[in-house]
A = this chain, B = another copy of it.
Amino acid sequence: MTDLKDRILAGVSKDLSEIESAVSQNLNPHLELVSRVARHILFSGGKRLRPLLMILSARLCGYENRDAFSFSALFEYLHAATLLHDDLVDGADLRRGKQAAHHIWGNPTVVLVGDFLLARSLSLAARTGRPEIIRTIAGITEAMSQGEIQQLRLKGDPTITEADYMDIIRRKTAVLFEGACRSGALLAGLSDTQVSALGQYGADLGHAFQMADDLLDYTADTRVLGKAVGADLREGKLTLPLIYALAAADDAEKRFIRHLISSPALSLEAFRDLVKILHKRGGIAYTEHLAARYVQSAKEALGGFPPSPTRALLMDIADYALARKM
């Protein structure tokens, strides 16, 4: 596991430092306040996974041009915009161990800085002058807002199904991963087949990544995670481990889970009991199993590309999506 992480980091460290400066240099706000709020979320230890996927996808397709880094920043801006708006929508307290932006600057400013970041990412897309790329980026934004709305609509609703969940994570997470990988291939001017293959890799990886995230909310350490475990449940977000376990639970367990869903406070003890039920009723194992299938599918999507260090890195990243501890 640590080997895997070290191997990935060694393979991408130069790219990550280029991405880091691109994220800093392309923000270009008119107002100091915008810069301060945007940087709070942009430089809080994000993994830069989305820009990185775009860079590696472009490289896999033979595209190696410095302008790719400026372009890649837009995926981090898009991600940051949705984090700002979502934390506000969810009433989240912490983000990556830091106070959520809306607690510091208030909702109005955070709404508007999120809008700025959305707009900035679309400006960067427009700068490519490539309509398919621009359409991809605009489509991502549409999908993400609708995924978040659907999640909000089903907040605390114990009748949520696995299909609802899959639909939500596709829109709110997988579409952005897919778009980052597709854009890399499009930038390289590759054929539809290769664009689709990389898009498939991204979409599968995005699904696996979100499922792993939702697992971590039940299984990780608060200290490692940078936010409180159990936060999803407290915010009314019912994810696959719980959805699956609830369906398989006996009557007493069902009552207990439904009670937790509807009560605003969640004690550590109740949370631990819940996690036991999620294990016992297969919610954890099922989610791990499904995520592993998505990882497998992501790797298979790269099968048409000849072996290369970049392809190996993308394979490692797929494995790491599930193996990571934060």
A residues at B contact (CB < 8 Å): 29-31, 33-34, 85, 88-90, 107-109, 111-116, 118-120, 122-123, 125-131, 134-135, 137-139, 141-142, 144-146, 148-150, 152-153
Contact = CB atoms under 8 A, between A and B. Distances in A.
Contacts of A138: 119, 122-123, 125-126
Nearest to A34: B149
Can you tell how many copies of this chain the complex includes? 2
B134 A108 contact: no
Contact of A108 (B109, B118, B152): B152
A195 to B, nearest CB: 16
A41 to B, nearest CB: 15
A141 B126 contact: no
B126 A142 contact: no
B146 A31 contact: yes
Nearest to A139: B123
A196 to B, nearest CB: 19
A123 B152 CA distance: 23
Contacts of A90: 108
Contact of A112 (B116, B119, B126, B152): B152
A135 B126 contact: yes
B118 A118 contact: yes
Given A131-B129, A134-B134, A135-B127, A109 B149 contact: yes
A146 B108 contact: no
A217 B159 CA distance: 48
Given A112-B148, A125-B134, A128-B131, 7 more contacts: A31-B149, A33-B149, A33-B153, A88-B107, A108-B152, A114-B115, A119-B142
A154 B115 CA distance: 19
A112 B31 contact: no
Contacts of A118: 115, 118-119, 141
Contacts of A153: 31, 33
A153 B142 CA distance: 29
Contacts of A125: 134, 138
Contact of A126 (B107, B120, B134): B134
